[in-house]
Structure 1
Amino acid sequence: MDYFKPSEMKTIMHSKRANMYYLEYCRILVNGGRVEFAAEAGRKINYYNIPIANTTVILLGNGTSITQAAVRDLAKAGVLIGFCGGGGVPLFSAMEQDTDIVWFCPQSEYRPTQYLQQWAGFWYDPARRLKAANIFQTARTAMIRKHWSKLAKDPENCFDHNDRQLEQVLDIFEKNIDVCADTENLLLEEARLTKNLYRLTAKAVEYGSFERAKRGEGGDSANRFLDHGNYLAYGLAATAAWVLGLPHGFSVLHGKTRRGGLVFDIADIVKDALIMPNAFISAMRGDTEQQFRQSCIDALVQAEALDTMIDTVKLASIEASRAEA
């Protein structure tokens, strides 16, 4: 069988791709030159095509297997592959800690180098690294303002947040980060913001008291949905970093002792705006994991989340590089 070449496949920019897949209890393989997943239906086995040229991330959950040929073709198409536990929430890994997801990035040496060169140029300077982190946080608050307002206008969501309180929280955060002397202080401000946003979100849907559980510890439905949805954002963030040729270890705010810190930095641009409110809305509606996952994917696609991530990283790279050392 003749295998396709990357040049033979219509190229779709990663930021314009539509699909993220979570697969479980199936086998991913190459069948007739196409990447498909095979799922049992009684005595039959059904085959479903995966449009790899229009796919960003594939999460492989419980009971999945994948062939070497499928991994090769997914890599050629630039698709990130992650192994996770049930419902999209990672419970194990092959190379990291037990609660971390593993992203297998396509190995292409012909990605752009300009952003890596700019990033490396400023990353070792704490002041310029702080500037890049501030740009991420500014994009984060802009996304919250834009998308919380949209959610509130849709009566089906029952998301009645207090505009005045939200603006007050965001204004205080933006003023405080402008005067932060280092990333440690910025992390403290970010923790305060997140805590306030949890409070406002729970109040907006009349969820009652809420306390964020540690990752992987489960808890109530809102906590489980937050864990699940956040990993969708991490998948897009890993894609954004890969597209721009940036190693995940070059974080500007989170996890400087861990390889994936930049993924967490980038994911924060959209998590509070899109994942957090949907987690509480789905919890109040009694949605299943699948229904919540679909609502998150729809929100991420409609908000052009990957575009926003890539544009923000580009801006941070350029602006921090230009800043005075």
Structure 2
Amino acid sequence: MDDFSPSDLKTILHSKRANMYYLEYCRVMQKDGRVLYLTEAKQENQYFNIPIANTTVLLLGNGTSITQAAMRMLAQAGVLVGFAGGGGTPLYMACEVEWFTPQSEYRPTEYLHGWLQFWFDDEKRLIAAKAFQQARIAYLQKVWQKDRDLKSEGFDFNSEQIQSALGTFHARTNAANKQSDLLLTEAQLTKVLYKFAANNTNTTEFKRQHQPDKNSTSKANDFLNHGNYLAYGLAASCLWVLGIPHGFAVMHGKTRRGALVFDVADLIKDALVLPWAFICAKENATEQEFRQQVLQAFTDHKALDFMFDTVKSIALTDEFGVDENA
């Protein structure tokens, strides 16, 4: 069968694509013009189709291999491929994000040009960083006020504890004079959110561990790491589509090669990954059940759409336009 052209495979906008896949102990290959993954069963081998035109990110975990032909078709469809460790957490370094991004000379340039117009100016880059912080809170408010499942688990945006923490957060964010001030304020808010989530789910003696640990006994930590890596996949896809290199971060510093991925992923992590990590841990869910829950939440609350809208707004407007009261 003749190869599809990229235009044939990109009929679904990335911001509207529905699928992220995490695969382990299988072989990914091209067969009859489709990308399949093969699992070995006792009686017979089983093939499953990957709908690449409606897929954003493919994560390959333990025991996986992929053929050159499959990678070619994934690249034509604009699917980002990442190699991960067990459970979707990074294989080599917990603080690094590695992606195989499709190569194309037809990436847009307008968003990169807009980004660079402010990025080299320290003051403007700080304004953009504050806009990111305001956007993440606006998204958290929208999700927590809308999602009935989260409300039923006690994640009430209007609770006194959350509102008090946000009052401090906004005051310190507005007063910040450098990125390190914003990072400290962000860390303080996240600490409050961890405590709030732990209390809601009766999680005792929770202590955040960012690096995956094979001997971990904290499902909440494992699920946070797992869910964050899924968010990194969406963020990396958003930036690749818009043509903005991952190194042009506004929050996480100029020296981290993938830092902008972390900035963009942070837009949705507190609203979606954090609460569901604690809820699924309380329910003693499996990794697969947690992954399905988080991916469904990404879809229900249009997480990728929100990433695209925020990054495009900041890239193309002088005000870096997100209203903290939105």
Spell out, residue by residue over 1:175-220, the C-alpha distance to the aligned partner (whole angstroms, 9 max, x if none). Answer: 2111111111111111111111111111122222311013223451
Using the TM superposition, name which of 252-261 and 20-29 deviates more. Answer: 252-261
Cα deviation 1:236-284 (Å, max 9, x = unaligned): 0001111110000000011421110000000000000000000000000
Partner of 2:193: 197
What is the aligned partner in structure 1 of residue 4 from structure 2? Answer: 4
Shift of 1:38: 0.8
Distance 2:95 2:192 in 1: 26
Partner in structure 2 of residue 159 of structure 1? 154
CA RMSD, Structure 1 to Structure 2 (Å): 1.8
Residue 229 of structure 1 deviates from its aligned partner by 0.4
Supply the distance in 2 between the matched residues of 1:63 and 1:131 (Cα, whole angstroms).
Answer: 44
Q: State how 1:92-131 maps to structure 2 within 5 Å.
A: 92=92, 97=93, 100-131=96-127
Match for residue 230 of structure 2 among 229, 232, 243: 232
Count of aligned pairs between the two proteins: 318
- Cα distance in 1 for partners of 2:260, 2:143 equals 23
Match of 1:64 in 2: 64
> Which runs of structure 2 are paired with 1:255-266 in the superposition (5 Å)?
255-266=253-264
* Cα 1:102/1:322, change in 2 over 3 Å: closer
* 1:101-147 CA-partner distances (Å, limit 9, x unpaired): 42011111111101101111111111100111111111110111122
CA contact (8 A) 1:25 1:61 kept: yes
CA distance in 2: counterparts of 1:121 and 1:58, whole angstroms: 33
2:217, 2:260 → 1: CA distance? 27
Q: What SS does the corresponding residue of 2:204 show, helix, strand or coil?
A: coil
Which deviates more from structure 2 when the two are superposed, residues 72-81 or residues 248-257? 248-257
CA apart distance, 1:149: 2.9
Kept after mapping to 2: 8 A contact 1:27/1:65: yes
Among 301, 309, 312, the alignment partner of 2:310 is 312
For 1:80, the equivalent position in structure 2 comes to 80
Residue pair 1:266, 1:309 contacting (<8 A) in 2 also: yes
Q: Residues 48-59 of structure 1: matches in 2 within 5 Å?
A: 48-59=48-59
1:134 aligns with 2:130: yes
Kept in 2: contact 1:118–1:321 (CA 8 A) = no
Paired letter, 2:149: D
Unaligned runs of 5+ in 1: none
In structure 2, relative to structure 1, the CA distance for the partners of 1:139 and 1:121 (3 Å cut) is same
CA distance in 1, matches of 2:154, 2:47: 39
Is the 2:314–2:320 contact (alpha carbons within 8 Å) kept by the matching residues of 1? no
Q: Of 178, 185, 210, which residue of structure 2 is paired with 1:182?
A: 178
> Which consecutive unaligned segments of at least 5 residues does structure 2 have?
322-326
Change in CA separation of 1:165 and 1:13 when aligned onto 2, cut-off 3 Å: same
Mapped partners of 2:10, 2:302: distance in 1:
21
What is the aligned counterpart of 1:277 among 261, 275, 285? Answer: 275
Q: Indicate the SS of the match to 2:99.
A: strand
**Is the 1:144–1:272 contact (alpha carbons within 8 Å) kept by the matching residues of 2?**
yes
State the distance in 2 between where 1:68 and 1:29 align: 8
Q: Which amino acid in the other structure matches residue 250 of structure 1?
A: F
What amino acid sits opposite 1:205 in the alignment?
A: T
Distance in 2 of aligned mates of 1:183 and 1:255: 8
Check the 8 A contact 2:56/2:78 in 1, yes or no.
yes
Name the residue aligned to 2:44. Answer: 44
In structure 1, the residue matched to 2:324 is: none
8 Å CA contact 1:132, 1:319 repeated in 2: no
Question: 1:126 and 1:99, CA in 2 relative to 1: closer, same or farther beyond 3 A?
Answer: closer
CA contact (8 A) 2:127 2:320 kept: no
Q: Percent identity?
A: 54
Q: Equivalents in 1 of 2:234, 2:169: separation in Å? A: 25
TM-superposed CA distance for 1:9, in Å, is 3.2
Structure 2 match to 1:300:
298
